[in-house]
Amino acid sequence: MKENLTIQALAKFSLGVLLVWVLIFLPAGTLSYWQGWLLMLILFVPMLVAGFVMLAKSPSLLQKRLNAKEQQGEQKTVVRLSGVLFVAAFVVAGLNRRFQWCELPDWCVWTAAGVFLCSYLMYAEVLRENAYLSRTIEVQEGQKVIDTGLYGIVRHPMYTATTILFLSMPLVLGSLWAFLIMLLYIPLIVKRIKNEEKVLTKGLEGYGEYKQKVKYRLIPFVW
């Protein structure tokens, strides 16, 4: 089973690398796009390391993270729109490089890269804290409410981390226009969170009390 999981994970990883490369560099019309190579480096190297760590320490968690088939119609729509958003942002970033519409300064690119890596560390910490994390919205057998660590600050620290990751990516690519497109991810993740909380409140024992204990969903003191 572990061998099959390894093959599945590496296949998805390789497909992801190829897809992002195509979406960035073909519109750019050149391989001389250092911001694109920087993003691929900070995106895929930590992803590969995290994958091997999960494979060694928690194969079941890795399997959950590989499963992206949503069952609920509302969430399927959110996932599809998110996919369209990412494709648009990457393509626009590449076109921005080709036509030099509005290129951000190097200090902005490197700052965004630092924010991206810090968010990746937050993402890894959430994975360590919560073994029930799935890419689909569901209540799993034996699932318990996690209310310690980052979950004691906001109810959805994974979405906090991924939102920062996603918003920093177009800045790493040096494109203000791509960043403006990616801002549309915020209402999508808000919609996803609201639906997920309905599912968890209904099906996960103790989640209602957890919502009373931890007031904020995504950003402390904001929402």
pLDDT tens figures, 46-100: 888 888 877 777 777 777 667 666 555 566 777 888 889 999 999 999 999 999 9
Considering just the CA atoms, what is the radius of gyration of the chain in Å? 18
pLDDT confidence tier of residue 141, bands split at 50, 70 and 90: low
State how far the alpha carbon of 81 is from the alpha carbons of 9, 14, 203, in Å. 24, 23, 26
Q: Which residues contact 34 (CB under 8 A, 6 or more apart)?
A: none
DSSP designation for 102? S
- Sign, CA dihedral 170-171-174-177, equals positive
- Threshold 0.85, pTM exceeds: yes
Q: Which domains does the chain have, with CATH numbers?
A: 2-66+74-213 (1.20.120.1630)
Whether the pLDDT of residue 19 is over 80: the answer is yes
DSSP designation for 141? T
Whether the pLDDT of residue 17 is over 90: the answer is yes
Residue 165, number of CB atoms within 10 A of its CB: 19
For 103, phi and psi rounded to 5 degrees?
A: -85, 130
Using an 8 Å Cβ cutoff, are 124 and 47 in contact?
A: no
